[in-house]
């Protein structure tokens, strides 16, 4: 059933914050990457160790758009929500919203390609099962 | 004289690459952040330890747009070029292009705010000297 | 009751592995640091955001000894066990063992000091409650 | 000629420091790893992209001992000195000293193995040229 949202709450850790005392933005993108990794393993039945291993495929990010809306602090419980915006033949787009206690902290739009792995990276058609699983998380 | 470009060549290191063998995108943004840090210290006479310390200011990123155009590999010499696109009153926009041997690898547009540091972050007008220094790197 | 063990199972993620395909050792130490952070929040009632904030204290690492016993791979479920080896007046020693499916992967002995925070770091006596809580995890 | 020291001065960056305002220890070990990477490329004529690529070998760390002697601050110029303590058949030991303005900050003793790369990691004898190059940096 389309319209699902993949949700996790993660702590803002000591290591995520900078000497100015707030979340350091490249590490927020690391958090988003972890969410996408969990989304693949838990919601799409496509854990990355199998994708990169046996299936010899990869999902490199090709475009990233981020709005940072407010600072994160050490000890915050960060709510992350992932929705699928678009499912193409060998690429897909996700939106990830980060918030703390209902206050928006960042919004990410990220385009990932589905490719062969290894030195000669090239676009590869996504399996139908993966496309169908992705569509469960799109607005429909 | 406007139109200057801030340039560095940096190695793509072991630690920058992922198990798929290519540069991992959050770490490329870390490279871009290092470039901006060097730009402040070397070109703008505004090293961050002084900015965050004595001046009690910060330059958090508020918007980020990235196009990844090709994979980076361990051992690549990555050329980074920074240009200033816009200088506002308490924010500025930079463009950073990454390439290897002339082949484009990524293009970043990044908006940074100039703010007070500490818990109650708020926009702060940039000093005139900083605005003038930034304008040296804009197209004019 | 002394003799308790603080235990977590964490995934070995894509980001933890290097281009040689195995867990990258500085990131394993990051995992150990996260475990110690969780130990403080969940077992010692001393979350770091409160320690570094209101209490104005820090727990910098002063000594680290690590034996790496076998490679970690992407997708591994890493079991981490923390025991307290020694509780001093303003320092304590923990041992952390990492294993996958019962096979030892690394063993860490880490000495942390309890200090004032900020520029003039100096040793500070640990509160009695913290010492007592630490002793619950020592062999007795 | 034995007795050489491999030396670099590196900046302590914004990203290296934690919300307590000082260098974060896992990132200091990342700095040491970068030094070892540069040592291989610049002093041993064995860049890691070639080692991990064409030569299909790796140099995983098997033991690490670190004493942290004083805090690092953002903006510090960190002097790193590497000496070789021991050259075995398929392992070697280095000592790395970190200091700022002559004040000791940390001392690392690190044992690295020389192994085959890939899933079935196993010890591999070091080429004679590599052993000879390493010995140039031992006390003799």
Angle at A13 between CA A12 and CA A17, to 5 degrees: 90
Who among C13, C48, C75 is closest to A74 (CB)?
A: C48
Query: C34–A15: do the CB atoms touch at under 8 Å?
Result: yes
Average pLDDT, chain B: 95
Who among D19, D26, D74 is closest to A17 (CB)?
A: D19
Query: C118–D61: do the CB atoms touch at under 8 Å?
Result: no
DSSP for chain C, please give it.
-----EEEEEE--GGGB-TTSBB-HHHHHHHHHHHHHHIIIIISS--HHHHHTTT-EE--EEEEEEEE-S--BTT-EEEEEEEEEEE-SSEEEEEEEEEETTEEEEEEEEEEE-EE-SSS--B-PPPHHHHHHHHTTB--
Interface test with D, best of A15, A18, A19, A27 (most D CBs within 10 A): A19
Query: C17–B15: do the CB atoms touch at under 8 Å?
Result: no
CA distance D81 to D73: 19
Contact call for residues D133 and D44 (beta carbons, < 8 A): yes
Average pLDDT rounded to a whole number, residues A89-104: 98
CB atoms within 10 A of CB C101: 9
Q: HSE (CB half, 13 Å, CA atoms) of C65?
A: 5
Scan residues 15-44 of C and list those with Cβ closer than 8 Å to B: 15, 17-19, 21, 24, 26
**pLDDT category of residue A5 using cuts at 50, 70 and 90:** very high
Query: B66–A71: do the CB atoms touch at under 8 Å?
Result: no
Average pLDDT rounded to a whole number, residues D67-91: 97
State residue D117's pLDDT score.
85
Higher-pLDDT residue of D131 and A52 is D131
pLDDT tens profile C28-54:
999 999 999 999 999 999 999 999 888
Q: What percent of chain A has pLDDT over 70?
A: 99
CA distance D79 to C117: 25
State residue D53's pLDDT score.
85
Where is average pLDDT lowest: A70-74, A114-118, B29-33, C61-65? Answer: A114-118
pLDDT higher than 90, residue B85: yes
Where is average pLDDT lowest: A39-48, C48-57, D56-65, D83-92? Answer: C48-57
pLDDT higher than 90, residue A54: no
Q: Which two tokens stand for residue B58?
A: 């910060």
Q: What percent of chain D has pLDDT over 70?
A: 99
CA distance B16 to D49: 12
Contact call for residues C70 and D121 (beta carbons, < 8 A): no
Average pLDDT rounded to a whole number, residues B95-120: 94
CA distance B122 to B114: 8
Long-range pairs of C126-134 with CB within 8 A, sequence gap ≥ 24: C126/C87, C126/C89, C126/C90, C126/C92, C129/C45, C130/C44, C130/C46, C131/C87, C133/C43, C133/C44, C133/C45, C133/C46, C134/C44, C134/C84, C134/C87, C134/C92
φ and ψ of A105, to 5 deg: -115, -40
Kind and range of the H or E run holding B10: strand B6-11
Who among C19, C26, C74 is closest to B17 (CB)?
A: C19
pLDDT tens profile B57-70:
999 999 999 999 99
State residue A20's pLDDT score.
79
CA distance D116 to D114: 7
D70: nearest Cα among D30, D102, D118, D38: D102
pLDDT higher than 90, residue B119: no
State residue C89's pLDDT score.
97
The string over C113-133, giving b where at least 16 C-beta atoms fall within 10 Å of a residue's C-beta and e elsewhere, is: bbbebeeebeebebeeebbeb
Neighboring chain A residues of B72 at a CB cutoff of 8 Å: none
Interface test with A, best of D14, D15, D19 (most A CBs within 10 A): D19
Contact call for residues C4 and C137 (beta carbons, < 8 A): yes
Neighboring chain B residues of C118 at a CB cutoff of 8 Å: none
Neighboring chain A residues of C47 at a CB cutoff of 8 Å: 75
Neighboring chain A residues of D14 at a CB cutoff of 8 Å: 18-19
pLDDT higher than 90, residue D80: yes
Query: A18–D14: do the CB atoms touch at under 8 Å?
Result: yes
Q: Which residue has the tokens 């308490």?
A: B90
Q: Is B119 on the interface with C (CB under 8 A)?
A: no
**pLDDT category of residue A135 using cuts at 50, 70 and 90:** very high
DSSP for A86-130, please give it.
EE-SSEEEEEEEEEETTEEEEEEEEEEE-EE-SSS--B-PPPHHH
pLDDT tens profile A99-132:
999 999 999 999 999 999 877 789 999 999 999 9
pLDDT higher than 90, residue B118: no
CA distance D25 to D18: 9
pTM given for the model: 0.95
Q: Which two tokens stand for residue C49?
A: 């955001």
Q: Which two tokens stand for residue A1?
A: 């059933």
CA distance B64 to A28: 12
**What's the Rg (C-alpha) of chain B?**
16
CA distance B91 to chain A (A): 14
pLDDT tens profile D9-37:
999 999 999 987 899 999 999 999 999 99
pLDDT higher than 80, residue B120: no
Instruction: Look up residue A15 and give its DSSP letter.
Output: G
CA distance D139 to chain A (A): 38
CA distances from D71 to C121, D109, D119 (A): 8, 19, 38
pLDDT tens profile B16-37:
999 878 999 999 999 999 999 9
pLDDT tens profile D63-77:
999 999 999 999 999
φ and ψ of A119, to 5 deg: -55, -45
Interface test with B, best of D55, D59, D74, D77 (most B CBs within 10 A): D74
pLDDT tens profile C77-130:
999 999 999 999 999 999 999 999 999 999 999 999 999 987 778 999 999 999
D7: nearest Cα among D134, D135, D97, D77: D97
Q: Which residue has the tokens 């004898």?
A: D125
State residue A121's pLDDT score.
84
Per DSSP, what are the bridge partners of residue B10?
A: B78
Average pLDDT, chain D: 95
Who among A49, A73, A75 is closest to C74 (CB)?
A: A49
CA distance B14 to chain C (A): 7
Give the chain C residue whose CA is nearest to the CA of D33.
Answer: C26
State residue B41's pLDDT score.
97
- The region that residue C16 occupies, defined by phi over 0 for left and psi between -120 and 50 for alpha, beta otherwise, is alpha
* Interface predicted TM-score (ipTM) of this complex, two decimals: 0.94
CA distance C76 to C106: 14
CA distance B49 to chain D (A): 6
State residue D40's pLDDT score.
98
State residue B76's pLDDT score.
97
Query: D15–A21: do the CB atoms touch at under 8 Å?
Result: no
Q: Which two tokens stand for residue B27?
A: 């770490």
The string over B26-36, giving b where at least 16 C-beta atoms fall within 10 Å of a residue's C-beta and e elsewhere, is: bbbbbbbbbbb
A32: nearest Cα among B64, D27, B113, D1: B64
pLDDT higher than 80, residue D140: no
> How many beta-carbon pairs below 8 A join chains A and B?
70
pLDDT tens profile D35-59:
999 999 999 999 999 998 888 899 9
């Amino acid at each position: 059933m389309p319209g699902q949202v993949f949700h996790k709450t993660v702590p803002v850790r000591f290591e995520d914050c900078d000497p100015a005392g707030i979340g350091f933005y490249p590490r927020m993108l690391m958090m988003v990457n972890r969410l996408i990794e969990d989304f693949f393993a838990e919601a799409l039945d496509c854990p990355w160790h199998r994708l990169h291993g046996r299936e010899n495929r990869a999902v490199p990010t090709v475009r990233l758009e981020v709005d940072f809306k407010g600072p994160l602090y050490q000890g915050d419980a960060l709510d992350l929500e992932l929705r699928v915006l678009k499912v193409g033949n060998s690429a897909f787009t996700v939106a990830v919203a980060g918030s703390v206690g209902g206050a928006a902290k960042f919004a990410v739009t990220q385009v990932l390609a589905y490719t062969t792995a290894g030195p000669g990276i090239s676009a590869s058609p996504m399996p139908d099962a993966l496309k169908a699983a992705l569509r469960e998380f799109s607005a429909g």
